[in-house]
């Protein structure tokens, strides 16, 4: 059961998103996550949310991999 006081994530699985700014590093969404260099995702590259994780983290698939990102690091892409 969800807590009605907790805020809902602004993105759902399948949402198209873009990074607001490049982070210092990327964290892979693998079963054993690894830190990856931020240049694997281009500044204006669009990705797709493929999973919702704890603590407002999302698994986002980009051209060169799937990475864990915080919801506040992302912006929605208009269709």
Between strands 46-53 and 35-36, the pairing is: unpaired
Residues spanned by the domain of 72: 16-76
Q: What is the pTM of this model?
A: 0.84
Tell me whether residue 10 is in a domain.
Answer: no
Tell me whether residue 4 is in a domain.
Answer: no
Tell me whether residue 65 is in a domain.
Answer: yes
**Domain count across the chain:** 1
For 62, other C-beta atoms within 10 Å of its C-beta total: 19
| Structure tokens, 6 | 């907790």
Average pLDDT, consecutive stretches of 10 residues, N- to C-terminus, the chain (79 residues): 55 94 94 95 93 94 96 90
What is the structure's pLDDT at 43?
84
- Cα dihedral sign for 32, 37, 43, 45? negative
What is the structure's pLDDT at 48?
97
Tell me whether residue 8 is in a domain.
Answer: no
Tell me whether residue 67 is in a domain.
Answer: yes
Residue with tokens 């969800």: 2
């Amino acid at each position: 059961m969800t807590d009605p006081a907790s805020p809902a994530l602004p993105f759902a699985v399948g949402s198209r998103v873009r990074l607001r700014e490049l982070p210092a590093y990327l964290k892979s969404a693998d079963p054993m996550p690894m830190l990856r260099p931020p240049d694997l995702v281009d500044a204006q590259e669009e990705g797709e949310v493929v999973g919702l994780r704890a603590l407002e983290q999302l698994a986002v698939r980009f051209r060169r991999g799937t990475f864990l990102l915080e919801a506040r690091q992302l912006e929605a892409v208009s269709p």
